[in-house]
Structure 1
């Protein structure tokens, strides 16, 4: 399903942990879990990140090079295959500008054994979509007026200028999680989760991938990362 075939078009969400944390609490998350900026990728900087780190979010520019890499990756996986845990919660993204919300949902709904998602909007989404296919999940989210309303409330609160919902935003959020001993990249624009291999340290594994993204975009100042960690 292409973007042009969807009914919903959203404003982009800013890469701002304060807004993200208000957002997830409005969705129903309780407790001390939240997003925080990742200020560095070297070992010393990673030592100061609260543990356990349950997810890493990355915001990066979509370029011709990144699109070509995605195409090559997709063809390689379809040819050689990959192992994907059945315990992964993954949804495709069919709503334009919804990548921030998709990354947040992937962070939260893959960690329900540790994160209390409450009994509100998020719980309803999880209970009603956990057994659906990725594209069926995406269709459900398109029709969720509650989620669209909360997303809109927090997408217009950012410090940066908010574009029109119809604007073609060239920045994209993805999420990294660890599940059943492997490092996964969850990107709703892709057909399926990407298994990056065995991993005993999510933060370190995700940081190595982020370093590669930065190396491919040496002149970009728009690459940012957040961690989902205990804040207290």
Structure 2
């Protein structure tokens, strides 16, 4: 493999433009704010969901999953890949949905060729093939947030780190499957048609969340759906179409910002401010520094009075 995989955010705009860059047509992701089937149905035609959660690092594989049953035979007729590399699980989860919806979704020439090439392999080799795909890796990395301080390809998680993991849920062959590359096989959650998916997947997600302490709220759910602009055009809903176009523009802007490292810009800005203060004459620079220190001390004292940590400055 010629390079590593960087961390990407669980964000509808990131995932939508990532799959478009891979050649997928007329599909987008929508963030869901509640675990209600009605909200999922409102997203239109649904292909699956991507769930992000804090991974219990001490958890070990067992012969039986916490929920559902392993379907070891399913790997021969659905696309399921073992996760073989860190940081790739977000892209692997969305591909777990899309590569199993080929026919319903136009996944494009590149992904179709990848699926045909890797489809006959066992899950472990499929995972290796995915990890070694230059196209998929480079597209994935193009949506990573720029960091001048941390090389994500070299970083290794420790037991004290919060580790997050993406998995996919989708209906395949009238069965609700959980596709998690860290598990030995797809997990079946029972019979489920495409139309039943919103009603069947929500209880599964609720049971998973219920295994965490009530104070744990760091979850994220993205629905993989048909491009909402298509539905707006079909219904002649100009207001909805305008809202979707505006959302796409916002996503483009946010994705562009992710690619930029602003440290150099901030450094030059600070140098300009300091130069300006120094040019204003004797004592101006020193007074500016002392005023800044005084403001910081006041903020610390205010936070302590409110019962907050004095060192926790926002």
**Correspondence for 1:28:** 23
Measure, in 1, the Cα distance between the counterparts of 2:136 and 2:37: 37
Query: 2:310 corresponds to which residue?
Result: none
- Counterpart in the other structure of 1:171: 164
Q: Which has the larger radius of gyration?
A: 2
1:139 aligns with 2:132: no
Structure 1 CA distance for aligned equivalents of residues 151 and 169 of structure 2:
27
> With structure 1 as the length reference, what TM-score do the two structures score?
0.83
Partner Cα distance (2:132, 2:72) in 1: 31
TM-score, normalised relative to structure 2: 0.62
**1:194 is matched with which residue?**
187
**For the residues of structure 2 that align with 1:154 and 1:9, how far apart are their CA atoms?**
14
- 1:74 shift after superposition: 5.0
The residue that corresponds to 1:3 in the other structure is none
Equivalent position SS for 2:62: helix
Q: 1:195 to 1:44 in 2, by over 3 A?
A: closer
Q: What is the Cα deviation at residue 130 of structure 1?
A: 1.4
Deviation by residue 1:31-52 (Cα, 9 ceiling, x = unmatched)? x21111122112443342212x
Q: 1:225 corresponds to which residue?
A: 221
Gap change, CA 1:85 and 1:182, over 3 Å in 2:
farther
- Listed one character per residue, the Cα deviations across residues 122-177 of structure 1 (whole Å, up to 9, x for unaligned) are 2331121111111111121232222211111012279xx98723242610000011
Cα distance in 2 between the residues matched to 1:117 and 1:191: 26
Q: Which one has more relative contact order, counting CA pairs under 8 Å at least 6 apart?
A: 1
Q: Is the 8 A contact 1:55 1:176 kept in 2?
A: yes
Q: Distance in 1 between matches of 2:3 and 2:85?
A: 6
Alignment of 1:88-107 (within 5 A): 88-107=78-97
Once the two structures are superposed, residues 21-69 of structure 1 have per-residue CA deviations (whole angstroms, 9 ceiling, x without a partner) of: 1100111112x21111122112443342212x1111100111257x25x
Residue ranges of structure 1 left out of the alignment (5+ in a row): 1-5
Partner of 1:203: 198
Q: Quote the Cα distance in structure 2 between the aligned partners of 1:134 and 1:127.
A: 14
2: CA distance between counterparts of 1:198 and 1:48?
22
Name which of 120, 125, 129 aligns with 2:118. Answer: 129
**CA–CA distance in structure 2, aligned partners of residues 188 and 9 of structure 1:** 18
Task: Tell me how far apart the structure 2 counterparts of residues 185 and 90 of structure 1 sit (CA, whole Å).
Answer: 10
Alpha-carbon RMSD across the aligned residues, in angstroms, is: 2.8
Structure 1 residue runs of 4+, over 6 Å off?
none
Asked if the contact 1:92–1:134 (Cα under 8 Å) also holds between the matched residues in 2, the reply is yes
Q: 1:185, 1:194 within 8 Å by CA — same for their partners in 2?
A: yes
CA distance in 2, matches of 1:213, 1:163: 32
Q: In 2, Cα distance between the equivalents of 1:182 and 1:83? A: 13
Tell me the number of residue pairs that the alignment of Structure 1 and Structure 2 aligns: 218
Alignment equivalent of 2:62, drawn from 71, 80, 87: 71
Unaligned runs of 5+ in 2: 230-314
